[in-house]
Amino acid sequence: MRSVGQLVPLLLVAVLVVAMGIPTTRAAPAPLNPSLYGRFLSNLSMPTLAPGDSGPVGFSLGDALGTPITGVTLTFDVYAFNAYPGNATGPAPADGAPLFAGASGAPSSSITLSVGSLSPNGPMFASPGAVDLTVAAPAGSPQGTYAVRTSLAFTSNGSDYLLESRGYFSASEWANATAAPHSPSYLNATRLGVSGVLPESAVLVRSNPYPLVLAIVLGGSVVLAALGGYWAVRWRPGSKSGAVAGPPPSHADTAFGKSRKSDGD
C-alpha cells in the first residue's frame, strides 16, 4: 500500500493535467457506413455579401440512423481565406472574417448550435425554420472567399459519433486517409479519427457585386433599343445586287396613234 507521502505527488500531477488542459485518452468515435455521410447535413448554402452586409445561412440537419440521436451539436467555423483579386490561400484574417449570428452569444466566426435530439422520422432541424442563422461581413472585410468547415457530434445507443469536413484535416492526414490502390474515391474515416465526413461551404465577399453587372445589362438594352428604332425608321436603299430601278410606271402608246377618230384610221 502506498503511503500518504507517495500519493501526494501523484495527486499533484493529476491536478496539473486538469489545470493545464493536457489532453487525455478518449474513446474513438463509432464508425458509420459511408452511405450515410451525406444524409445528416444537406442543402448547405452561404450568401454572397458586400462588406457591411449580412445574409441567411441555409442548411438541413436530420437523423440518418435508424435510432434517435441525442446531444446533437452542429458547428460552423470560418477557417481559410482566398483573396480577390489573386489566388493566395491562407488562414482567415483575425479582423474582417465573416461572423455568424442566430444563437446565444455574441457574433463570432465560429458558432456551435445546440440542436438537442433528433429522430429518424421526425422533423429536420433547418435554417430558416428551427433556427434563423445568418452570417455578416464586417465593413472592413477584405474581398475574397472565406471557407467554412462543419462539424457534427451526437450520441446514439450509448456510442459517440463525430463527423467533420475536409477543413479539419491537414493535407497529409487527408492523403493518408484517401490513398488506396485502384480506388480513387476511397476514404478511410477511421484514419482521420472521425465517424464520417461532412460537406463544407464558403462565403464570398465582394464590394457591390451586383450593381456593375446590372448597369452593363441595362446599358446594353438601351443601345440595342436605339439601333432597333433607327433601322425601323431609316430610308431604305435600293437593291444591293446592282440592279437599277426603272422609270415610274406609265401607259404605253397605242398603235392607233393619238389622233384616232374612227375605226380604220
What is the H or E stretch that residue 17 is in?
Answer: helix 4-20
What is the H or E stretch that residue 12 is in?
Answer: helix 4-20
pLDDT at 21: 44
Cα 35 from Cα 64, distance rounded (Å): 10
Model confidence pLDDT, tens digit, residues 6-24: 443 443 334 333 344 444 4
Burial of 56 (0-12, 13-18, 19+ CB in 10 A): middle
pLDDT at 194: 98
Model confidence at 242, pLDDT cuts 50, 70, 90, reads low
Position with higher pLDDT, 108 vs 253: 108
User: How much is the mean pLDDT over the chain?
Assistant: 79
Model confidence at 228, pLDDT cuts 50, 70, 90, reads low
Model confidence pLDDT, tens digit, residues 162-215: 999 999 999 999 999 987 766 666 889 999 999 999 999 999 999 975 555 554
Cα 60 from Cα 135, distance rounded (Å): 16
Provide the Cα torsion 48, 50, 54, 60; round to 10°.
10
For the cut 90, the answer to whether the pLDDT of residue 221 exceeds it is no
Q: What is the pTM of this model?
A: 0.70
Average confidence (pLDDT) over 30-43: 96
Model confidence pLDDT, tens digit, residues 52-102: 999 999 999 999 999 999 999 999 999 999 998 878 789 999 889 999 998
Average confidence (pLDDT) over 143-159: 97
For the cut 90, the answer to whether the pLDDT of residue 253 exceeds it is no
Correct CATH for 25-205 of 3.40.50.2300, 3.40.50.720, 3.20.20.210, 2.60.40.10: 2.60.40.10
Average confidence (pLDDT) over 144-157: 97
Average confidence (pLDDT) over 212-240: 54
Average confidence (pLDDT) over 152-162: 97
